[in-house]
Amino acid sequence: MPVVNMKQIVVFTDLDGTLIDHDTYEFKEAQTALEMLRDRSVPVIICSSKTRAEIDLYRLRMGLNAPFIVENGAAIFVPHNMLNIAEENLVEKGAFHVVELGTPYGILRDIWRKIKDKENLRMTAFSEMTIHEIVDRTGLPFEEARLAAMREYSEPFVFSDTIDRLRLLERLFEKNGLQMTRGGRFYHLIGQNDKGKAVRTLKKLYTQTYPTMKLWTVGLGDSANDIPMLRHVDIPVVIRKKTGQWEHIPAVGPVIYSEKPGPKGWAEAIHRILSEADQYPDS
């Protein structure tokens, strides 16, 4: 854990449209900022709607080794021997302890199909798409689209019906104890999890492990599904979209808005926060 003006900084970040470009999925404009954080031993925690398999790939490319949050807060993956999590209800998956907060994919998929068939809704889920169709809709290379299809806790989908039917769909999900959220490209059917709950849980794990340290959390995102995360960090950052707009973040205190979109805006915000770190209070 780092000491930056006696503050222990932890960075939570979305991927699509934030740390990686919305269209190219590249992050080279953020590379220098990532290296700066790594030099200061600042944990960079990916908090994304992406799957574990996808995030594993980006962690490798970016040289990250911190815990990470998958599928809109559905599960927290903590590398073995990294944090004090003995009291948590855990499962083991490969090299990770996993705190599961979401609903298993099979349950989500079955409810989604039943509602679609009963109401004759015009919508298409990942589970109905071939890998080639996912490539066409996302622009991902084939192998990365295959990783995107490896869902464990969420069902992304496209909706092409009316706004009234969308509201009906949302009510029907809620009756089944589920919810939907909107990302950069897709709607997502999820359980009673969100990025904010996962961030709160992971912050607690860091506090348990480092009880004498003052954590100072930064959150960076660009979409509606990032709002719960941004509500539970000390420094919320909204990354500008390529359209030139920013996501509206209600009921949040002072917010940093990047001037640039995507990884350029991410780097801009990180440089600003680190350079102004001594201006933030310790309590």
Task: List the chain pLDDT tens, one digit each, 283 residues.
Answer: 444 445 789 999 999 999 999 999 999 999 999 999 999 999 999 999 999 999 999 999 999 999 999 999 999 999 998 888 876 678 889 889 999 999 999 999 999 999 999 999 999 999 999 999 999 999 999 999 999 999 999 999 999 999 999 999 999 999 999 999 887 789 999 999 999 999 999 999 999 898 888 899 999 999 888 999 999 999 999 999 999 999 888 767 789 999 999 999 999 999 999 988 755 555 4
Please report whether residue 246 resides in a domain.
yes
Which amino acid, one-letter code, is at 69?
A: I
According to the model, what pLDDT value does residue 88 have?
62
Q: Is 89 helix (H, G, I), strand (E, B) or coil?
A: coil
- Residue 151 shares a structural domain with residue 84: no
Q: Which of the listed residues 150, 175, 190 is the one where a domain comes to its end?
A: 190
Q: Hey, which residues are catalytic here?
A: 14
- The total of other beta-carbon atoms located within 10 Å of residue 92's CB is 9
Residue 263 lies in a domain: yes
Q: How far apart are CA 124 and CA 277, in angstroms?
A: 45
pLDDT at 196: 95
Report the SS3 class of residue 84: coil
How many domains would you assign to the chain?
2
* CATH number, domain containing residue 125: 3.30.980.20
Residue 1 counted as domain residue:
no
Strands 155-159 and 123-125 turn out to be antiparallel
C-beta of residue 116 within 8 angstroms of C-beta of residue 123 = yes
Is this prediction's pTM over 0.75? yes
Total count of residues recorded for the chain: 283
204, 74: one domain? yes
Question: In this structure, are 204 and 75 located in the same domain?
Answer: yes
Identify the CATH number of the domain in which residue 13 sits: 3.40.50.1000
pLDDT confidence of residue 254: 86
Burial class (CB in 10 A: 0-12, 13-18, 19+), 131: middle
8 A C-beta contact, residue 197 and residue 73? yes
Tell me the two tokens of residue 185: 């490209």
